Amino acid sequence: MRQALDKLCGPRAGGEVEILSTGAPVLDRCLPLGGLRAGSLVEYLGGGGSLALAAARVACQSGRALVIVDRAGRFYASAAASLGLDLAQLVLVRPATAADELWTLTEALRCPGIGAVWCVCPRLAQRDFRRLQLAAETGGTLGLLMRPAKVRSRPTWAEVQWLIEPQPARERWRMRVELVRCRGAHEGQSVLVEWDETSGTWQEADHANSLPSSAELAGAAPARRRTAT
């Protein structure tokens, strides 16, 4: 892995800060900059791995590599390909230990030749979190971190934090996305998005085609019983 990163790294280009689409136009509109800042960390709480890959695809459009850090061995390249990612740009790393994982994340984020780094991070100490944030700033790399929903109230070094809730749907992938944290934005706003295979992007979902959630069904059950008696 060290040799692979050395080949990818090169001098960082100067200039203005690059703003990248989230991969979902409706989510871009939730953010004050109209997208995600290159060189920052983004947290997806409770899921959203495919949504993060959409952002990674945008970050790597210039030809830079996408590094997937998959210590648990649960990442499938076929899923990334179905979302339109170029597998030739993908570098898959499966560290053996937590220390190796942290080193890989830090070095990959610090590398200007890498557009985005994607990783599932259930546990992350604050000092290590800060280390990753500084590395992302140095490399101008987008760090996409999948984390459990229970960390929502904890301090974070991520510039943007989304809460993801998968939703039942008749056909397409669908999820409710809430903006939990972003400086300068109206936090708490939420949208329903679904994957559009035609455009290859996440679009705002049509509520009319939504299936009722389990909570809605549970709430409706007593009313049906009362009507029947």
pLDDT of residue 216: 41
- Identify whether 134 is part of a domain: yes
What SS3 state is found at 175? strand
Give the rounded percent of residues in the chain with a pLDDT score beyond 70: 81
The pLDDT value recorded for residue 36 is: 97
In the chain, what are the helix, strand and coil shares in percent, each to the nearest 5? Answer: 35, 25, 40
Residue 202 has pLDDT above 70, yes or no: yes
How much is the average pLDDT of 43-69?
A: 94
Q: What is the mean pLDDT of residues 183-188?
A: 85
Tell me if 10 is assigned to some domain. no
Q: In the structure, what pLDDT confidence band is assigned to residue 5 with cuts at 50, 70 and 90? A: low
Q: Which domain, by its residues, includes 136? A: 18-228
Mean pLDDT of 59-82: 91
User: What are the residue ranges of helices labelled H in 10-157?
Assistant: 25-28, 49-59, 77-82, 98-110, 126-139
Q: How many domains does the chain have?
A: 1
**Type of residue at 132:** L
pLDDT at 126: 95
CATH number at residue 140: 3.40.50.300
Q: How far is CA 94 from CA 66, 75, 101, 161, 227, in A?
A: 14, 10, 8, 25, 56
Residue 41 lies in a domain: yes
* 70 part of a folded domain: yes
Distance CA 70, CA 56 (A): 15
User: Is the per-residue pLDDT at 179 higher than 80?
Assistant: yes
| 9 falls within a domain | no
Q: Mean pLDDT over residues 88-99, rounded?
A: 94
For the stretch 159-174, pLDDT in tens is 999 999 988 765 667 8
Which residues have a Cβ under 8 Å from the Cβ of 7 and sit 6 or more positions away? 113
Where b means 16+ CB within 10 Å and e means fewer, 149-184 reads eebbeeebbbbbbbbbbebebeeebbbebbbbbbee
Lowest mean pLDDT among 17-26, 53-62, 195-204: 195-204
Model confidence at 222: pLDDT above 90: no
Q: Across residues 8-33, what is the average pLDDT?
A: 78
pLDDT (mean) for 127-156: 96
Crossing angle of helices 98-110 and 126-139, in 10° steps, is: 30
Does residue 3 belong to any structural domain of this protein? Answer: no
Contact 116, 56 (CB under 8 A): yes
